[in-house]
Amino acid sequence: MSKIFPQKADSPLAKKFPECFLWGAATSAHQVEGNNHNDWTEWEKENAQRLSKESGGKYPPENYISGKACDHYNRYEEDFDLARRLGHNAHRFSIEWSRIEPEEGKFDDKEIEHYRDVIRALRARNIEPFVTLWHWTLPVWFVKKGGFEKSGNIKYFVRFCEYAAKEFKDGVKFWITLNEPEIYAANSYLKGIWPPQKKNLISYLQVMINLIKVHREVYIMIKKISSDAKIGVAKNNIYFEAYRNKFHNLMLKKFIDWWWNFYFLNRIKNYQDFIGLNHYFHNRIKNFKFNQNENKKISDMSWELYPEAIYYVLECLKKYSKPVYITENGLADAKDENREWFIKESLKNIHKAIAGGVDVRGYFHWSLLDNFEWDKGFWPRFGLVEVDYETLKRKPRSSSAIYAEIAKNNSINDTEQEEEK
Ligand code: BGC
């Protein structure tokens, strides 16, 4: 473990975060709950063998089946106890549409009660719930109707959200309508790697447009139910960097910034109370090529670790004049070699953005637990807490204690400056 300086909140080198800053971690239903039945579980069954083969046999087919996942559905109290012990005062999770409305128009009271208990369990521990209404998985009946590709289907999702908003309104203030709509649309309808594995530009654009409509309609509907609710999306924004600021690199950056980072946000700008930022990527553009990164440090998934990027991404959100919650940020790091460094450096950069006038009000690390990483399966380890998938035992990684200390002090020491002294 690296040298840890005591995080004295009153040290002159401490970078303080705003009062009432929210500190937490995020999960999503399909990735942690276990025993879901939705379009992904169907797809996993059909594709596990293929994915295992494509890994050259490195990962067995079981790696690609979400199955019981972390059994968080039954162990949420234990997990929230851990979160509390780790100093978290907020938690982001998603409710699973396919559980609540397993058949078209039939809502399951037992599942409603389950999520009510989940919300109560958070509140009992003084943890503020951030509820995501859709984190990529869909009921099978909805997919059979054509999913989000058909604008006529928007009403089904809005009806589900209305049901949830009415049932949970007493316990929930913060709502996230959609998780990373642009990643979903690209992976499921353009690149053809996630269900329903389409590669069709028109479908991709249609899904994007429909998700914009979905967000707006759900926003208006929730506001009617609880006027003081705070509503946003979790938007995946990337730091596109034009190599050496050369003209052609800059032109491409301008275009891709507009499409990837701002188009969705611009179209919903009058329908959001905050911006939820999910941030993972830096993408350097050099001579018309993307991803020309230096990759000095990478995660277990070979994603570049470049914590400076979050500063630039946050700066660009200033123009919306909205509070920002960082709803995801993290790395796959099974050995916990880089997580402490990554968290500290990211937070220093977030602090810099706050000092520069971006109204950041919270940070949710991805993730509280190791979990099911979609088409990659279980091998990537994103958790502050390690999960043994045989015994389902939880074991906090050492970086979780560093994050806990920062959260408890609501500040981070600039150890580099301290070391220089
Ligand atoms: C998603 C998570 C995912 C994480 C790491 C985010 O884009 O919202 O579901 O596990 O990235 O890949």
User: Could you read off the pLDDT of 73-127 as tens digits, one per residue?
Assistant: 999 999 999 999 999 999 999 999 999 999 999 999 999 999 999 999 999 999 9
103 is a catalytic site residue: no
Say which of 44, 101, 167, 180 is annotated catalytic: 180
User: Which atom in ligand 1 lies closest to the alpha carbon of residue 28?
Assistant: 9
Residues 6+ apart with CB under 8 A from 26: 91, 92, 93, 130, 327, 328, 364, 365, 366, 367, 368
Counted residue by residue, the chain has a size of: 421
Count of CB atoms situated within 10 Å of the CB of 249: 21
Give me the pLDDT at residue 13, please: 75
- DSSP annotation string for 215-281: HHHHHHHHHHH-TT-EEEEEEE--EEEEGGG-HHHHHHHHHHIIIIIIHHHHHTTTS-SSEEEE---
For 253-294, how does the pLDDT look when each residue is reduced to its tens digit (9 = 90+)? Answer: 999 999 999 999 999 999 999 999 999 999 999 999 999 999
Give me the pLDDT at residue 10, please: 56
Gap between the Cα atoms of 14 and 403, Å rounded: 15
419 is a catalytic site residue: no
Run means of pLDDT, 10 residues per run, the chain, 421 residues: 43 87 99 98 98 98 98 98 98 99 98 98 98 99 98 98 98 99 98 98 98 98 98 98 95 98 98 98 97 97 98 98 98 98 98 98 99 98 98 98 98 68 39
Given ligand 1 and candidates 328, 331, 365, 378, which is best to mutate, with the most ligand atoms within 8 Å of its CB?
Answer: 328
| Domains recognised in the chain with CATH numbers | 2-420 (3.20.20.80)
User: Which atom in ligand 1 lies closest to the alpha carbon of residue 180?
Assistant: 8
**What number of helices (H) and strands (E) belong to the chain?**
15, 14
Gap between the Cα atoms of 374 and 40, Å rounded: 8
Gap between the Cα atoms of 126 and 83, Å rounded: 11
For 195-216, how does the pLDDT look when each residue is reduced to its tens digit (9 = 90+)? Answer: 999 999 999 999 999 999 999 9
- Identity of the residue numbered 253: K
Residue of the CA atom closest to atom 12 of ligand 1? 373
Question: Position of tokens 């979780």?
Answer: 400
Given ligand 1 and candidates 233, 333, 371, 373, which is best to mutate, with the most ligand atoms within 8 Å of its CB?
Answer: 373
